[in-house]
Amino acid sequence: MKKFMTMMFIIMCLLSIKATTIYATPSEDVNIIVNSEKDQYSKMFDVDLTVQFNKEELYNDQVYLAYHLYDINNKEILWEGQRFPISVNDKGISYVKQTINLESGLSSLKDNYVKVVFDLVDEKNTYWFSLNPKVKVSSEVIIFNNDYFKKFVGTLKLSFTNHPVIFSVNAAFFVLFIFFFFRIRRSELFSN
């Protein structure tokens, strides 16, 4: 039982380690920062982004946020995902909350691994920010992984990081249930 408790403690510690966030350098003209989870396990997920224009002259009312999809080998699956309108505040920052459905632009998503890369498109001047050599763009990515083991571990990690008290209470009751299950099983009630 002590080995089991020690192993559960080690697993809890490993799940509680949160990846450090590395923000884009201010030397870029435009930074796209993912504030929500960067590892996703569902084909439809909510994303929370911050778009920061360090050169405000790059922004106009016809600049849209979009995304591109790549497979595990960085081969393009879909160049242009759904476009989202953005509006910046007086500091040149836009906060975007959207739902992304990976199957909306694809007939069928067969890959278990998809990389979502965000980009901006200027419809007024007709160019993509990432393809314009005069514009330096930094964008964080979201990784969709449909592997069942990673989905299970990711779900545990997400529930622990978002709701640690509820997760800890559930884990404690689960351990108590297992403990009492084996105690009752070894008792005279079930012996022949």
CA separation for the pair 122, 59 (Å, rounded): 8
For 90-151, give the DSSP string.
TTSEEEEEEEEETTSSSS----SEEEEEEEEEETTTTEEGGG-TT--EEE-EEEEE--HHHH
Question: Does residue 9 sit in the same domain as residue 52?
Answer: no
Residues of the chain with pLDDT under 70: 12-26, 105-111, 188-192
Distances (CA, A) of 184 to 156, 188, 192: 28, 8, 14
Give the total number of structural domains in the chain.
2
Question: Does residue 101 sit in the same domain as residue 57?
Answer: yes
Nearest to 110 by CA among 154, 61, 160, 71: 71
pLDDT of residue 35: 92
How is residue 73 annotated by DSSP?
T
Question: Does residue 65 sit in the same domain as residue 104?
Answer: yes
Question: Does residue 64 sit in the same domain as residue 85?
Answer: yes
pLDDT of residue 21: 45
Question: Does residue 110 sit in the same domain as residue 169?
Answer: no
Question: Does residue 95 sit in the same domain as residue 72?
Answer: yes
Domain encompassing residue 53? 30-146
Q: Is the dihedral of CA 71, 75, 78, 80 positive or negative?
A: positive
In a domain? residue 110? yes
Query: What's the pLDDT tens digit per position in 28-66?
Result: 889 999 998 898 888 889 999 999 999 889 999 999 999
pLDDT of residue 14: 66
pLDDT of residue 13: 65
Task: Give the CATH number, domain containing residue 65.
Answer: 2.60.40
In a domain? residue 158? yes
Asked if 146 contacts 112 with a C-beta cutoff of 8 angstroms, the reply is yes
C-alpha 175: how far from chain center: 30
